[in-house]
Amino acid sequence: MMSDRKIQNTLDEIVNTLEFMKTLGVAGVDCSSDILEVVKSWDRKPATEGQTLASVQQAYQDCRRCALSKNRSAIVFGEGDPHADLVFVGEAPGEQEDLQGRPFVGPAGELLTKIISAMKLTRESVYICNIVKCRPPSNRNPLPIEIESCSPILKRQIDLIRPKVICALGGFAARTLLSTDNSITMLRGRFHRYQGIRLMPTYHPAHLLRHPEKKRDVWEDIKKIMAELGATP
């Protein structure tokens, strides 16, 4: 029998594919907004009753689900408005984040903060978190087992916030949330769906620090998010 998660992923894939076909102008398949709304509504589940972000954070405060717990200084749960319309999801905490217990407070975080300001928003008005909540040693990429162990926390955070838009920062966040192996270059620039929520993948701010020429692409993606949220650049 198919698990809830597999059914969910399949539904997300159907919607992503239909929306992609719609952008290509494919005829012969009913990609009308009405049909898409019907498909999207299949996967809507209410957030877990009685839980809040604070209670989830409390439940995982001494998490030992994976080996990253051994060397961490602090769990970087996430921060911002629990009712935010926009959630940014990064990869994993770095050195500064591990020391301060806050997401995106190092050099990549400075750039993310500038992007948020350019959207005429503040860090307090959005929600910022990561796929993995503890720092991988020497900032190596998170391992599949670490992503897998941590993903129930992220899933719960998103279930509780139910934002209008998720911005996945970088390939790890985008591939994890969309259950795909595709590269960030292939995924970015158009909306996908995660649990019925519109999701825009874009390059990670740390990647922009190494490749400033990609800032233009990120701004294009961000403008699409702003339009979706009813804001103008």
Binding-site ranges for ligand URA (CB under 6 A): 90-94, 97, 103-104, 106, 108-109, 130, 206
Comparing every residue's Cβ against ligand URA, the nearest one is: 90
Q: How far apart are CA 147 and CA 176, in angstroms?
A: 8
Q: Based on the number of CB atoms within 10 Å of its own CB, is 3 exposed (0-12), middle (13-18) or buried (19 or more)?
A: exposed
For ligand URA, the closer CB: 193 or 204 = 204
Residue given tokens 């935010």 in the structure block: 84
Q: How far apart are CA 106 and CA 159, in angstroms?
A: 27
Minimal distance in Å, beta carbon 130 to ligand URA? Answer: 5
Return the number of other C-beta atoms located less than 10 Å from residue 28's C-beta: 6
Minimal distance in Å, beta carbon 104 to ligand URA? Answer: 4
Q: Which stretch of DSSP H or E encloses residue 22?
A: helix 4-23
For ligand URA, the closer CB: 11 or 75 = 75
- From residue 168, alpha-carbon distances to 20, 67, 90, 108, 127 in Å are 18, 25, 6, 14, 12
Minimal distance in Å, beta carbon 45 to ligand URA? Answer: 27
Minimal distance in Å, beta carbon 115 to ligand URA? Answer: 13
Minimal distance in Å, beta carbon 198 to ligand URA? Answer: 21
Minimal distance in Å, beta carbon 229 to ligand URA? Answer: 22
Q: How far apart are CA 64 and CA 230, in angstroms?
A: 41
For ligand URA, the closer CB: 18 or 131 = 131
For ligand URA, the closer CB: 104 or 203 = 104
Q: Which two tokens stand for residue 22?
A: 């719609």
**Which one, of 70, 45, 56, lies nearest residue 197 by Cα?**
45
For ligand URA, the closer CB: 90 or 196 = 90
For ligand URA, the closer CB: 104 or 127 = 104
